[in-house]
Amino acid sequence: MSPGLQLALLVAILLPAGKLCASLFSRVGIPPILGELVVGVILGPGALNLLHMHLFAGGQASSALMLLAQVGGLVLMFIAGLETDIDRMREASMSAFVVALSGVIWPFFLGAGVGHLLGLSWPTACFLGGALTATSVSISARTLMDAGKMASPEATVILGAAVIDDIMGLFVLAFLAAASTGTAKIDSFGLAPATSAWLQDRIGPAAHHPLLVQMLVISACVSLFFWIGYGAANKFLDPLILQLRKLSANEAVPSCVFALIMLYAVSAEWVGSVAGITGAYLLGYVFAGSEYKSDVERSFHAIGHGLLIPLFFVAIGLSSDYRALSGHWIMLGLIFVVAVISKLVGCGLAALASGMGWVASLRIGCGMISRGEVGLIVTAMGATSRIFGKSEVAVMVAVVLLTTLVTPIALRAAFNLKSDEDLEEEGNLLEDGLPQSSPEILLAVDNPQMESAHDLPGEASYRIEMHPRNPLLTFPGVEPLSD
């Protein structure tokens, strides 16, 4: 079978299976994202081993599927940026920074300490702690979307802090790379590694202080990317979309916006040395304030949630392999507990110190638990430099997967708790006569001249009135059946 047909068959198996399992989980009150992850785990190398069946021999279709899944992660983060409340994000910027800083310090030192107590050398233990620092914002973003909480203050802090601690994780990575001795060279990509290497080759003092040089260069590159990326999108995005809407080609706007997402993802890694999902989120964040937001959002919800995003989460499960964990279950259990507690307590206490309530702080701590891209990058770097053995790599991959499974459950449970702020907000909504959770309003009218909704005159216009103290919609000429 050709690789193209193999890929088609994989998509035909994984998409319906993921959606069916997600629907089943949703019906029993479990976050649907877990259904897609479980499908991947069942079909992965630890169970059915779908990708290594004879039918998919060659591996080209499997590689293409993983690449498609990575694109799904970028689209997911673009949609998360689109649904961000800009005003609340600006208000919560300082809280997000404090939460992110605490969410890096606690996992690093707890992870390194526990790793050393388990018998690992200090370099290996420090790499272990570094792999636990950065949060996977994509998992929390999807859970918040499913729960309809993307506009909440907690979601704003979680998304902001996750983006910031992704950047902080890079500094940890630079520190580990510079501090490790006698290791193999790590493959580098982007402006920061090239600039750092050039400075160390050309300038004598820089060669004697490689860690300082790397820190300064990364700081400059991160600042450069956000300054150029945000400034350019903020200035040229709306005029560009206006010109694209004039094109006669079908779906020209979504096609070109998709290309922009890919461009921002590449630029994030090449210019800013941050994960590509950060660039996609930045573009979506700027789009959140655009007058064309609704047009773009509608298109990407279809392609994202219909194809790419489910493949992203199924692929996470497909990459898990528990066979390498044999004999290392105690290490896995302890590191998993550290991964959960360090984020839950570290980020939760930081949110509490920033003036948020204890329920909101618990939600933020739960939303920061999942690990992802940066953790896997540090793990891969440790494996390449032979600091990590097969057992440590297997433990870290399993921890990433387990925290991904735990986060949706913990976050959904935390949002089910009601704080004083939640009760006050619901009371205000009731006083204003507004629906609490759903934007849909059902109208029942009684008009003997109309047998069905199809009898409404096509050219008629109706004035809708809603009174804050009397939640009644009125249509002139139509008698209401009830309030």
Domains and CATH numbers, the chain: 3-425 (1.20.1530.20), 441-483 (no CATH)
CB 293 within 8 A of CB 287: yes
Whole-number pLDDT of residue 389: 81
Model confidence at 234, pLDDT cuts 50, 70, 90, reads very high
Considering only CA atoms, which of 33, 53, 57 is closest in space to residue 43? 53
CB 311 within 8 A of CB 11: yes
Portion of the chain with pLDDT greater than 70, in percent? 82
Least confident of 125-134, 241-250, 396-405, 432-441: 432-441
Stretch 257-275: mean pLDDT: 90
Portion of the chain with pLDDT greater than 90, in percent? 34
Stretch 390-400: mean pLDDT: 83
Condensed to tens digits (0 to 9), the pLDDT of residues 129-159 reads: 988 987 877 777 888 888 788 888 899 899 8
Least confident of 36-45, 87-96, 169-178, 268-277: 169-178
Neighbours of 477 (CB within 10 A): 9
Stretch 106-117: mean pLDDT: 94
Q: Write out the two tokens for 42.
A: 């069942």
Whole-number pLDDT of residue 162: 84
Q: CA 231, 234, 238, 243: dihedral to nearest 10 degrees? A: 10
Mean residue pLDDT across the chain: 81
Whole-number pLDDT of residue 257: 95
Q: Between 382 and 353, whose confidence is greater?
A: 353
Model confidence at 426, pLDDT cuts 50, 70, 90, reads low
CB 274 within 8 A of CB 71: no
Q: Judging by DSSP bridges, how do beta strands 445-446 and 465-467 pair with one another? A: unpaired
Q: Between 293 and 173, whose confidence is greater?
A: 293
Whole-number pLDDT of residue 396: 85
Quick check: 29 pLDDT over 50? yes
Quick check: 6 pLDDT over 80? yes
Model confidence at 323, pLDDT cuts 50, 70, 90, reads confident
- What is the distance between the alpha carbons of residues 28 and 446, in angstroms, rounded to a whole number? 38
Determine if the pTM surpasses 0.85: no
Quick check: 227 pLDDT over 90? yes
Quick check: 392 pLDDT over 70? yes
Q: Write out the two tokens for 149.
A: 């909480």
CB 82 within 8 A of CB 300: yes
Condensed to tens digits (0 to 9), the pLDDT of residues 331-359 reads: 999 999 999 999 999 999 999 999 899 99
Angle between helices 309-318 and 3-27 (to 10 degrees): 100
Considering only CA atoms, which of 177, 211, 179 is closest in space to residue 196? 211
Quick check: 187 pLDDT over 60? no
Whole-number pLDDT of residue 67: 93
Burial of 431 (0-12, 13-18, 19+ CB in 10 A): exposed
Least confident of 164-168, 379-383, 394-398, 461-465: 461-465
Map the chain to HEC letters.
Answer: CCHHHHHHHHHHHHHHHHHHHHHHHHHCCCCHHHHHHHHHHHHCCCCCCHHHCHHHCCCHHHHHHHHHHHHHHHHHHHHHHHCCCHHHHHHCHHHHHHHHHHHHHHHHHHHHHHHHHCCCCHHHHHHHHHHCCCECHHHHHHHHHHHCCCCCHHHHHHHHHHHHHHHHHHHHHHHHHHHCCCCCCCCCCCHHHHHHHHHHHHCHHHHHCHHHHHHHHHHHHHHHHHHHHHHHHHHHHHHHHHHHCCCCCCCHHHHHHHHHHHHHHHHHHHCCCCCHHHHHHHHHHHHCCCCCHHHHHHHHHHHHHHHHHHHHHHHHHHCCCHHHHCCCHHHHHHHHHHHHHHHHHHHHHHHHHCCCCHHHHHHHHHHCCCECHHHHHHHHHHHHCCCCCHHHHHHHHHHHHHHHHHHHHHHHHHHHCCCHHHHHHHHHHHHCCCCCCCCCCCCCEECCCCCCHHHCCCCCCCCCEEECCEEEEEECCEEECCC
Whole-number pLDDT of residue 468: 40
Whole-number pLDDT of residue 372: 67
CB 351 within 8 A of CB 95: yes
Neighbours of 288 (CB within 10 A): 17
Model confidence at 472, pLDDT cuts 50, 70, 90, reads very low
Whole-number pLDDT of residue 331: 92
- What is the distance between the alpha carbons of residues 460 and 455, in angstroms, rounded to a whole number? 11
Whole-number pLDDT of residue 225: 92
Contacts of 168 (CB under 8 A, 6+ apart): 100, 101, 104, 133, 134
Whole-number pLDDT of residue 111: 94
Whole-number pLDDT of residue 402: 87
Burial of 467 (0-12, 13-18, 19+ CB in 10 A): exposed
CB 36 within 8 A of CB 317: yes
- What is the distance between the alpha carbons of residues 349 and 167, in angstroms, rounded to a whole number? 21
Residues in the chain: 483
Model confidence at 454, pLDDT cuts 50, 70, 90, reads very low
Considering only CA atoms, which of 257, 246, 308 is closest in space to residue 286? 257
Question: Which residue type sits at 397?
Answer: V
Q: Between 55 and 84, whose confidence is greater?
A: 55
Whole-number pLDDT of residue 465: 43
Considering only CA atoms, which of 309, 311, 315, 308 is closest in space to residue 45? 315
CB 283 within 8 A of CB 236: no
